[in-house]
Amino acid sequence: MPGTWAEAHHWLAWAQSGTTDLDNAALLCSHHHHRAHDPAYLHERLPNGDIRFTRRR
């Protein structure tokens, strides 16, 4: 997906003292951005920079 279609996601929200730098950010498609805020899903950044989404049990 082109970056212009992506949505910015902060790993730690600014309102929770998160920074606004690239280390605290990820570009996600709309589908995965909604999953990142969905309490039914866990998300983690892997060492290679990929993001893994897992449904909570």
**pLDDT tens for residues 2-52?**
888 999 999 998 889 999 899 899 999 999 999 999 999 999 999 998 999
Alpha-carbon gap, residue 21 to 3, rounded angstroms? 17
| pLDDT score of 57 | 87
Beta bridge partners of 8: 27
| pLDDT score of 48 | 93
| pLDDT score of 4 | 86
Q: What is the DSSP string of 1-57?
A: --GGG-EEEESS-GGGT---SGGGEEEE-HHHHHHHT-TTEEEEE-TTS-EEEEE--
Long-range contacts of 48-54 (CB under 8 A, 24+ apart): 51/26
Alpha-carbon gap, residue 47 to 6, rounded angstroms? 21
